Structures are given as C-alpha cells and as structure tokens.
Homo-oligomer: A and B are copies of this chain.
C-alpha cells in the first residue's frame, strides 16, 4: 500500500497531535472500542449489562460499569433503565458513537493482518 507522505514538515503537524492524545486518552484502553464493536454487532437486540459482561471474556463487572459510564459521559452510548424486576439496564450506541465503528473495524482488520505478519517471522 502506498501512502502519500508530506514533502515538507507541516507546521500544524505536531500541534495537532494533541488531538490524537485526546483520542487515545479516551479510547486507548483495552476495552472501550471492544465494547463499542460488541454493541454494534447486534444492533437489533437490547444490550443488557449482564449479557455484555458474559460476552466480553475477561472483563470484570466493575471494569465494564466504569467503561460504560465513561462512554456515556462522552455521548457514545446511551443508558436505559428497564422497568423489570429486578431492574436491568440496557446500552445502545448513539448516532455519534457509531462514528467509531469504522475506526474500530479498521483496527480489527489491522489486527487480523498483523497476526499473519508476525507469524511469518
């Protein structure tokens, strides 16, 4: 794949890296993009907390709650309390949150390819 690279040092190049820092600060952990893609996988189903916890192998309930809270504060998911007994909570991607799907899929694809690259060593 040929990537076009800038001919000269762009003045805005370095400063704008701050934006990448912002992204990485929010999304750079192990879980958030994984959660986003998990929710997006089954758009038609209600994404119960418990179901997410079971499906995302290795995450603890505490972590999941914390990550979902952060995602909610950043307008990426919505949190809905269902009127069941006992209470359940469902999560969904916002329209804005869906803007992360292409990025997550690119990373997913990259990871798929990377596994091959590394195995060829």
Q: Which residues of A contact B (CB under 8 A)?
A: 1, 3, 5-10, 13-14, 16-17, 19-30, 33-34, 37-38, 40-45, 55, 74-75, 96, 98-104, 106-112, 114-115, 117-118
Contact = CB atoms under 8 A, between A and B. Distances in A.
Nearest to A121: B75
B9 A37 contact: no
Contact of A74 (B14, B19, B45, B118): B118
A interface, over-half SS: helix
Counted per complex, copies of this chain come to: 2
A30 B30 contact: no
A20 B104 contact: yes
The 9 closest A-B pairs by CB, nearest first: A23-B111, A19-B111, A22-B111, A13-B41, A19-B112, A20-B108, A23-B107, A5-B43, A3-B98
A115 to B, nearest CB: 6
Contact of A22 (B8, B45, B115): B115
A40 B111 contact: no
Contact of A14 (B7, B44, B55): B55
Contacts of A6: 41, 43
A104 B42 CA distance: 27
